[in-house]
Chains A and B, each alone.
Chain A
Amino acid sequence: MASARLAVDIGGTFTDLALEHGGRRTTAKVLTTPSAPEQGVMEGVRAILAQAGLAPSDIAILIHGTTLATNAVIERKGARTALVTTQGFRDVLAMGNESRYDQYDLNITLPQPLVPRHLRLAVAERLDNTGKVLLPLDEAGVRALVPVLKRHAVESVAVGFLHSFVNPAHEKRAAEILAAELPGVPVSLSCEVSPEMREWERFSTTAANAYVQPLMARYLTKLAAELKGMGLDAPVFLMLSGGGLTTIETACRFPIRLVESGPAGGAIFSAHVAKECGLNAVLSFDMGGTTAKICLIDDFKPQTSRTFEVARVGRFRKGSGLPLRIPVIEMVEIGAGGGSLAHVDSLGRIGVGPESAGAMPGPACYGRGGTKPAVTDANLVLGRYDPARFAGGAMTLHEGPAKVALGEHVGAKLGLAPEMAALAVVEMVDENMSNAARVHAIESGKGYDGRTMIAFGGGGPVHGFRVAEKIGIDRVLVPSGAGVGSAIGFLRAPVGYEVVRSLYQRFRSFDVAAVNGLLDDMVREAEEVVAAGSFGAPTTQSRIAFMRYVGQGHEIPVALPARTLVADDVAAIRAAYDVEYSRFYDRPVPGSDVEIMSYAVVVATVAEAAPSVAAVPGRSEATAVRVQRVRDSVTGEVADWAIYDRASLSPGAVLAGPAIVAEDETSTLVGAGWTASVTAQGYIELVRGAR
């Protein structure tokens, strides 16, 4: 009987695969085939099955995540899309919030809407904020748009009317008319894609959904057919940006919910490692070639959010992308990776990133013609890499060009030797990541006391200890399998779905019956989606209210009991809000009423229990394989650091910093004052100030 589980994560460069079968894990990487991504997937599936010695029929479930939707938006390769909207509001997508994301750059450009103005079409209709009809829908006006849509060969239609999240009747009627007149053209409704207040965010999300829908539906249908063709008959699930899994059918309706699935997999990977190790307060730190991603994980659950920006035109600047209001795993992504380039500005300040050397020419030390210094160059010059063993020995690093680049572009401008320039670059990129992590904690109302960092990606284990020092973390965990973390994360994700709806209420006049009615509807909707893929597995439910003081701008999520509410709950919910608010901002505000903006319901299958692991057999001093001259980025001193080979360390092995644990995919730096040991799972655990 089929029992293997297979995950496939299509990234920009590589398609990663992970397969688990009978307690064994196999991983594989193949090149992504952007013009026909299913080809790369099929090639990878064949390769990993051969590697594991399994047949297609052995696969019980296939879990898939892809950046296809994101890339379509970034590269503007989606469908020719029209937006049908309320008369008088044709330019909501173009006007955005009427602001500049950079106050001091006269020459900024703003992100262009996915729907050009000549395809943003208005019809007369208007609801007020309570959903009451102020102006009935002009049905003849909707019909009159049909020839225009046909003339422009529109492939997908978004419908966004003001206040439709309160009363969807006009949007639904317009969709009926369009569907009847334009068979085969999909219609996305703002009241279904993103039923929340704020017209720009809702319309933007709906337009993006319509924009990627034909492409994603074609791709997913084709992929399912090809898999069937090779005899892989297992159900296929898609990874959602919110961290759950869904069916192909739901993914075809709401493809915009797939945009951040790769990073979501990374966060779930971290959450699972946290669970295995019993760590209930974690900072996930994933540093790759061009960016670093930071995510907070409490009680084994990654933080979630409902806002996200895609396709930023202003180099990772907040506000320079298209807003999407969908459930996502909350993370900050900053332009700091191994390929990030260093420079010196007119004030003599060192900056690192967000410009990146990319894969070609890459950092100067790749010896492929790159002349600008990257973070990888700086790490090499500090002595942190074995030049012959980088990327498993697939590539030899060259220190000469790295030194020249650092000397020329940083050292000479600041009176620093190339080695000290390298130190400055590494300290600055660590500082930038730490600052981003600090701001992220503030935005989440959390702190770093007692938190463990889980570091992965090529750069995470190299920079982890220093970032931890800067933000006050004393424990860092480096799991194994970090190179395909996202794909492994997919295997851990529950089948789940989140429904969000707005229902505005003041707390003083809280209508228990209305809230119960809404929540019942939401639970029903989420359960239907989940039932399609859970095959009767037990599910859990969580309910959240988004609340704030009347007049405030940012809501705080407050958990509600997962059952019908009774009058007595009201006081308890209000008390829970005060507790949450104080946790965020120190003091509650006296005498203010609280308002509830919206609700979220998540239904998901119960996550599998973490496997129990045999106790560590006992601690033993690890043996270094050699020493290497390394410059300490904290003190500037050069000393012999012990080098250990990760593959030869067994559980229980202990070593003291300063040291480096080398492996094919990365190096784990153990700073001075840190002690490393290997856990029962084979993970490296770094602890500061303990021995």
Chain B
Amino acid sequence: MSGGQMAAIQRQIMWNRLIAVVEEQAQIMIRTAFSTTVREAGDLSAGIFDLQGRMMAQAVTGTPGHVNSMAEAVGHFLAKFPAAAMKPGDHYITNDPWLGTGHLHDLTVVTPAFRNGAIVGLFANTAHVIDVGGLGIGPEGRSVYEEGLYIPIVKCFDQGAPNETFFDFIRVGSRLPVELEGDVYSLCACNDAGAKRLVEMMDEFGMDSLDPLAGFIFESSMRATVAEIAKLGRGTFSAEISSDGYDEPVTLRGAMTILDDAIEVDFAGTSGLSQRGINVPPAYTRAYACFGIKVVVAPEIPNNWASLLPFRMVIPEGCILNAPRPYPVSVRHVIGHLIPDLVMGCLHQVVPDRVAAEGASCLWNPPMRGGASVSGQARGNKPVVSDFEIITFNSGGTGARRTLDGLDATAFPSGVRTMPVEATENVSPLVFWRKELREGSGGAGLTRGGFGQVMEVGTKGELEYAVNATFDRIANAPRGRDGGLDGAPGAVRLKSGKVLRPKGFQVIPDGDRLILELPGGGGMGEPVARDPALVARDVRDGLVSVAAARDLYRVAVDGLGVLDEAATARLRAGG
């Protein structure tokens, strides 16, 4: 009896260990990476796969956009380089948007793990690097060919030896060759560390193969996921959401069908492809749709092949969520980040208490560039700012939750972090004059949407530079739910007043500055039901105006945040 019980306990310990192994893999990447996007922002993911390319475990550290796009990628690597032919010390790489995670800036590296001379598993990771040449990150490309270096699935290390031809190509093809090469080294090193840990684990537990453990993980995960789905009501639930698009609005539509053992989303009715780089490759659509469902339906179940399997996506050809090669896809996240709001719109009809209102959702990441590549040729003797190429990650407010306000200036659904202003100013001639919460931007409600933020950016000497705008939710504000009001829409302009386009390459002239007003999250529930003390606190903090308190919340409060309870009662009774 105790033998069978011991084996059951052992399997649990091994699963736990496997998750620790991939977490170590991710931590090493963060510590060794060169691109700020990885080390400061955490735009990465890491996982372990069986020899069939099925993901067994994924690090919790990382961002959802890579969830099952990286998982799908490993299958593509195996199709080109079968596991049987892999050698110790090999590392394989690609940035193919259709074989990896959706744009050329994401490198995916796959590394075989060997034990006693036999291949036992595969490690993969994905990281967003700062520069791969081309136009630079932004929506302006009209095909993927313009968007940068295109790396097919190749060996970057062959039995431990660097593929010098590969490294030669990437060095000359990037504006930041040292960072790019360093990042490739870092990705390979972190897979190596994972492989080493895996072998130690297999030795300790006397495992000859990962297959029995994989079977146990997949069976448990599938059963638990299906059990969560079974708790939901059956039916088909539809929702839609709009993006500003590049030059015309884009509408995403989803019809979610909840089956006995699966959830299927059909994106029929979604707008067609764009001429510019906001198109979304299907793997990225699946990643964010899956994340949006999972975070509501089964948040505690770890990501693996089986726990993701019951979430199925039907993405019609020709729609913006199923971009074929060679459509441009550089900033596919601008549309992709709206997908969780879309699927939560469907789930709101099933489990209204478990979803959030819409948030700013799309990151406001201005790729900024200056110096010779912007103003070098035409300036004559006028001073030019020193050369720089940088992107910073910034977030608006998240949507209100059923019992909690939205989070202020916080990334969702993306899992990235921002960088300190002091650090950014240390590696570029930029000067940030303002980066603080945007007053009045959170959608009113019983629970309030999170506040967005305002940024004001110039350069040293107030010299010209350029932004490759990739912003959204300017014409389409984050919507509230159940009577909650919309969050404030975003805005992009010059300090001198001129309104800029939400997307595309634009120059900030000498003496002027870029102003970004990031959206606030939508509210949830009727504003007049909100606790007046919370409204008073927001007024005291200068985040909600006295007028908004009176008009939207029907709360009487003075400018210092002192609540007039009697007057509030009268206001609310009068409504």
Q: Hey, which bits of chain A sit against chain B, CB under 8 A? A: 87-92, 94-95, 97-100, 103-110, 116-118, 126, 128-129, 134, 162-163, 197-201, 345-350, 414-417, 420, 423-424, 427-428, 431-432, 435, 438-439, 442-443, 470, 472, 504, 549-554, 584-587, 589, 591-592, 635-637
Contacts and interface: CB of A to CB of B under 8 A. Distances in A.
Contacts of A200: 420
Contact of A346 (B5, B294, B300, B420): B300
Interface of B: 1-3, 5-6, 8-9, 12-13, 15-17, 20, 23-24, 27-28, 30-36, 38-40, 42, 60, 62-64, 176, 178-179, 181-182, 185, 189, 192-193, 197, 200, 204, 220-221, 223-224, 227-228, 294-296, 299-301, 354-356, 393-395, 401, 403-404, 407-412, 415-418, 420-423, 425-427, 431-437, 453, 456, 460, 540-543, 561
Given A118-B540, A416-B5, A107 B12 contact: no
Contacts of A201: 420
B415 A94 contact: no
Contacts of A109: 404
Nearest to B421: A199
B436 A89 contact: yes
B541 A116 contact: yes
25 contacts: A88-B433, A88-B434, A98-B418, A99-B411, A103-B62, A106-B296, A126-B433, A197-B422, A198-B420, A200-B420, A345-B300, A346-B224, A416-B8, A420-B6, A432-B16, A438-B20, A438-B197, A439-B24, A551-B36, A552-B34, A585-B28, A585-B189, A586-B189, A589-B181, A636-B6
Contacts of B542: 117-118
A20 to B, nearest CB: 41
Nearest to B220: A347
A185 B301 CA distance: 51
Contacts of B434: 87-89
Contacts of A592: 178, 182
Contacts of B12: 349-350, 424, 428
> Which secondary structure dominates where chain A touches chain B?
loop
B278 to A, nearest CB: 23
A118 B432 CA distance: 23
A91 B395 CA distance: 14
Given A99-B42, A415-B8, A551 B423 contact: no
A87 B432 CA distance: 11
Given A106-B296, A442-B27, A591-B178, A553 B36 contact: yes
A117 B34 CA distance: 35
A100 B414 CA distance: 9
B9 A549 contact: no
Contacts of A107: 401, 403-404
B23 A88 contact: no
B543 A117 contact: yes
A193 B436 CA distance: 23
B27 A439 contact: yes
Pick the most buried of A200, A350, A435, A470: most chain B CB atoms within 10 A of its CB.
A435
Contact of B182 (A108, A128, A347, A551): A551
A427 B12 CA distance: 10
B189 A587 contact: yes
Contacts of B403: 107
A201 B40 CA distance: 14
B2 A163 contact: no
B426 A129 contact: yes
Contact of B435 (A89, A472, A591): A89
B20 A439 contact: yes
B313 to A, nearest CB: 19
B5 A589 contact: no
Contacts of A197: 420, 422-423, 426
Nearest to A196: B422
Given A89-B434, A117-B541, A585-B32, 19 more contacts: A91-B437, A98-B393, A99-B418, A103-B415, A106-B354, A110-B407, A110-B410, A129-B422, A163-B425, A198-B423, A201-B420, A347-B220, A431-B17, A439-B20, A439-B23, A551-B176, A551-B179, A552-B33, A587-B189
B521 to A, nearest CB: 12
Contacts of B8: 414-416
Contacts of A103: 60, 62-64, 295, 415
Contacts of A349: 12, 15-16, 220
B401 to A, nearest CB: 6
Given A97-B417, A103-B415, A553 B30 contact: yes
A505 to B, nearest CB: 12
A420 B456 contact: no
Contact of A162 (B393, B415, B422, B561): B422
A428 B15 CA distance: 11
A89 B354 CA distance: 34
A317 B318 CA distance: 43
Contacts of B409: 91, 94-95, 98
B26 to A, nearest CB: 10
Contact of A443 (B31, B295, B355, B540): B31
Contacts of A415: 5, 8
A553 B418 contact: no
A154 to B, nearest CB: 15
Contacts of B411: 98-100
A589 B171 CA distance: 14
Task: List 4 tightest A-B contacts by C-beta distance, closest first.
Answer: A553-B39, A88-B434, A117-B541, A435-B20
Contacts of B193: 442
A504 B178 contact: no
Pick the most buried of B5, B197, B543: most chain A CB atoms within 10 A of its CB.
B5
Contacts of B393: 98
B180 to A, nearest CB: 10
A116 B8 CA distance: 51
Given A103-B64, A346-B301, A553 B40 contact: yes
Contacts of B407: 100, 108, 110
A417 B5 contact: yes
Nearest to A349: B12
Contacts of A345: 300
A636 B2 contact: yes
Contacts of A427: 9, 13
A97 B9 contact: no
A100 B42 CA distance: 11
A424 B31 CA distance: 34
Nearest to A105: B299
Nearest to A116: B541
Contacts of B224: 346-348
A104 B228 CA distance: 15
Contacts of B561: 118
Contacts of A554: 30-32, 39
Given A89-B435, A104-B295, A104-B300, A589 B27 contact: no
Nearest to B432: A88
A109 B2 CA distance: 43
A350 B456 CA distance: 50
B5 to A, nearest CB: 4
A661 B13 CA distance: 28
Given A104-B295, A424-B9, A427-B9, A128 B431 contact: yes
Pick the most buried of B178, B179, B355, B393: most chain A CB atoms within 10 A of its CB.
B178
Nearest to B340: A106
B306 to A, nearest CB: 11
B295 A106 contact: yes
Contacts of B421: 89, 162, 199
B475 to A, nearest CB: 24
Nearest to B303: A104
A689 to B, nearest CB: 15
A197 B300 CA distance: 37
A100 B415 contact: yes
A472 B204 CA distance: 10
B221 A100 contact: no
B39 A587 contact: no
Pick the most buried of A103, A107, A415: most chain B CB atoms within 10 A of its CB.
A103
